[in-house]
């Protein structure tokens, strides 16, 4: 059964890799804490303790599970149809009745037309607090940090690789946001700010193009990627709107996810001058869909998909995604 699910996921990755897409830019905030999809809601929101009947109160779990562990396998298609595979490990601990501390750690493998790389991704630490919880209404905030695990300067055969091949953005970031749920509708607003610049050293303009060389085709491919030397990213604002549907143990969510880059990024050019990357700001507009099935009281599996219908013109951070598919499993421990 597990092998069949993995085979289906890989087939979908290959299919959507051939489909037309302009690119998605998920800086990491979209799947952090309570800013995640609506079908992974905190179980403390299931009962309104101020209006519940006596029977409901007797059967209510006031303080829900103490720990959550989970793993996601994600695949996406990036710049020049680069194949990006991520194994994401998740761990959460409940420090108070409505407060969770979350840890997210990805491991990435990237393969494309100029080489392959592999490495750890950015470590994400968040705290989410549900400050208003009822049978139909849920409100929560999330605060967190993103910690790079490398300097975003992975190489292939001693050649510096563009950001599309980097497992980490190489930047520290702070994030925060609010989530709101009313019955089957969910809305999220979030903000992420990155500090400083990374140590990436890729410049497409320094790639030597020699039409007489045997590897001229490879040179052209390498020069087609965005320059990203000492990249400094602009800040991001995300909005998410979803409509959920519940069919017994199956949860379905369909929505939209706009990501607005509020300012242009900057890089250091071949002369050592910091320059603004024009048109690297702007809107990426994604459509999303998710399925979550509760196997039992403690275990669930989920499948999520996202794809853009509009994207920023220039993306030196390497976050282009024409489609993303995520297959995950989670376990709650009391």
Express each pLDDT in 286-320 by its tens digit: 999 989 888 987 898 999 998 899 888 899 999 88
Q: Please tell me the predicted confidence (pLDDT) of residue 39.
A: 43
Q: Please tell me the predicted confidence (pLDDT) of residue 231.
A: 96
Closest among 262, 259, 258, 257 to 234, alpha carbons compared: 262
Which uninterrupted H or E stretch holds 15? helix 2-18
The CATH number given to whatever domain includes residue 222 is 2.40.160.40
How far is Cα of residue 174 from the mean position of the Cα atoms in its chain? 15
Q: Is the pLDDT of residue 213 over 90?
A: no
Q: Please tell me the predicted confidence (pLDDT) of residue 35.
A: 73
> In which residue are the tokens 């959507």 written?
16
Exposed e or buried b for every residue in 309-324, given b needs 16+ CB within 10 A?
eebbebbbbbbbbbbb
The 10s digit of each residue's pLDDT in 243-258 is 988 888 888 999 999 9
Looking at per-residue pLDDT, the higher value among 68 and 43 belongs to 68
For all residues of the chain together, what is the average pLDDT? 83
Number of domains in the chain: 1
Least confident of 120-124, 261-265, 313-317, 319-323: 319-323
Q: Which range of residues forms the domain containing residue 99?
A: 2-61+68-333
Give this prediction's pTM: 0.83
Q: What is the dihedral of CA 219, 224, 229, 233, to 10 degrees?
A: -160
- The listed range with the strongest mean pLDDT (19-23, 132-136, 212-216) is 212-216
Q: Please tell me the predicted confidence (pLDDT) of residue 85.
A: 94
């Amino acid at each position: 059964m597990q092998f069949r699910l993995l085979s289906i996921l890989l087939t979908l990755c290959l299919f959507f890799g051939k489909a037309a897409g302009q690119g998605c830019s998920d800086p990491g905030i979209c799947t952090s804490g309570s800013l995640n999809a609506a079908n992974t809601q905190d179980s403390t929101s299931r009962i309104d303790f101020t209006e519940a009947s006596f029977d409901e109160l007797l059967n209510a779990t006031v303080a829900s599970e103490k720990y959550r562990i989970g793993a996601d396998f994600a695949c996406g298609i990036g710049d020049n149809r680069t194949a990006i595979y991520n194994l994401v490990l998740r761990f959460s601990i409940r420090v108070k009745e409505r407060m969770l501390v979350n840890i997210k750690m990805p491991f990435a493998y990237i393969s494309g037309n100029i080489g392959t790389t592999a490495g750890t991704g950015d470590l994400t630490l968040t705290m989410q607090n549900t400050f208003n919880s009822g049978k139909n209404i849920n409100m929560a905030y999330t605060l967190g940090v993103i910690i790079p695990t490398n300097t975003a300067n992975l190489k292939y055969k001693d050649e510096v690789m563009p950001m599309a091949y980097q497992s980490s953005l190489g930047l520290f970031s702070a994030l925060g946001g609010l989530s709101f749920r009313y019955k089957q509708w969910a809305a999220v607003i979030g903000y992420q700010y990155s500090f400083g610049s990374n140590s990436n050293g890729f410049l497409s303009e320094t790639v030597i193009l020699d039409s007489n060389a045997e590897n001229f085709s490879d040179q052209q491919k390498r020069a087609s990627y965005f320059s990203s030397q000492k990249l400094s990213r602009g800040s991001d604002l995300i909005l998410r709107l979803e409509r959920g549907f519940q069919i017994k143990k199956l949860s379905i969510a369909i929505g939209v996810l706009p990501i607005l880059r509020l300012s242009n990024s900057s890089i250091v050019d071949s002369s050592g001058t910091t320059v603004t990357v024009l048109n690297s700001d702007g809107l990426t507009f994604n459509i999303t869909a998710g399925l979550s099935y509760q196997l039992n009281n403690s275990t669930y599996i989920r499948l999520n998909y996202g794809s853009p219908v509009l994207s920023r013109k220039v993306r030196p951070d390497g976050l282009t995604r024409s489609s993303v598919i995520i297959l995950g499993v989670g376990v709650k421990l009391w």
